[in-house]
Amino acid sequence: MTIKLGVPSKGRLMEKTFEWFAARGITLQRTGSEREYAGAVEGIDGVSLILLSAGEIPRELAAGRIHLGVTGTDLVQEKLALWDQLVAPVEELAFGHADLIIAVPQAWVDVDTLDDLDAAASAFRDKHGFRLRIATKYHRLVREFLRSTGVADYALVDSQGATEGTIKNETAEAIADITSSGETLRANHLKILSDGLILRSQATLWRSRMADMDDADRATMTALLARLS
């Protein structure tokens, strides 16, 4: 067998992950054509590279189909109930920083906190006859956060991308999404609630608690982790 290492297959996260491993003497590269999701590992024996969507890496770790994987804290905590029983963080990689936050239109001058949002949600329901809608792809994290903070009178609507646009498109009144530089929020005339930070995320190397290993794999894992930490 080999130790299977799952890495995002495209974009910022893939490039930064390759750089992070290269700085530790392990070369990860895509092989084949530009569109083929095949990869190779040089600098250590017994490790194979699996290129995957960042959003699927938590599930693959939880199922034990990969031994190690790089993805954001946000995606692990969103996709896996009881995530800490299924995976363990090995290293925070110091890139891919993003905050999961709740934001509302800047024009809502009376709404700056979750308490204000709660009041606005009740008023919204009285006026419109349906619940204030919050667009997000982070359903689990947003529900847990709002439950713990006592906001109840809302409906989540699913948005898998361009979430900041849902308010202008009138499919939601508020959003819960990740922000990094804050530019997308500003460009869409949105503001973060002062107590609306749900989670700080960054790219992290995770180890599966569920993946099988033989003796050779265990030796490879020990050697690999010694190189990475």
Q: Which of residues 209-228 bind ligand ATP (CB under 6 A)?
A: none
Structure tokens belonging to residue 205:
């190397």
Does 98 engage in binding with ligand ATP (CB under 6 A)? yes
Query: Around Cβ 227, how many Cβ atoms within 10 Å?
Result: 13
What kind and span of H or E run contains 90? strand 87-92
Stretch that binds ligand ATP, among 27-35, 95-103, 110-118, 126-134 (CB under 6 A): 95-103
Query: Around Cβ 178, how many Cβ atoms within 10 Å?
Result: 21
List the single partner that 54 binds among ligand ATP, ligand PRP, none, CB under 5 to 8 Å by kind: ligand ATP
Q: Phi/psi of residue 16, each to 5°? A: -65, -35
Q: Which of residues 120-179 bind ligand ATP (CB under 6 A)?
A: 178
Bridge-based pairing of strands 154-158 and 174-179 is unpaired
List the single partner that 74 binds among ligand ATP, ligand PRP, none, CB under 5 to 8 Å by kind: ligand ATP
Q: Which of 54, 103, 98, 61 is nearest to 83 (CA)?
A: 61
Smallest gap from Cβ 180 to ligand PRP, in A, equals: 4
Does 180 engage in binding with ligand PRP (CB under 6 A)? yes
Q: Which of 72, 93, 114, 206 binds ligand ATP (CB under 6 A)?
A: 72
Smallest gap from Cβ 145 to ligand PRP, in A, equals: 17
Smallest gap from Cβ 133 to ligand PRP, in A, equals: 18
Structure tokens belonging to residue 104:
């509302």
Does 164 engage in binding with ligand PRP (CB under 6 A)? yes
Amino acid (one-letter) located at 111: V
Coil, strand or helix: which one is 67? coil
Task: Give the integer Cα–Cα distance in Å for 29 and 14.
Answer: 10
Which residue lies nearer to ligand PRP by CB, 3 or 178?
A: 178
Does 69 engage in binding with ligand ATP (CB under 6 A)? no
Binding-site ranges for ligand PRP (CB under 6 A): 161-164, 177-184
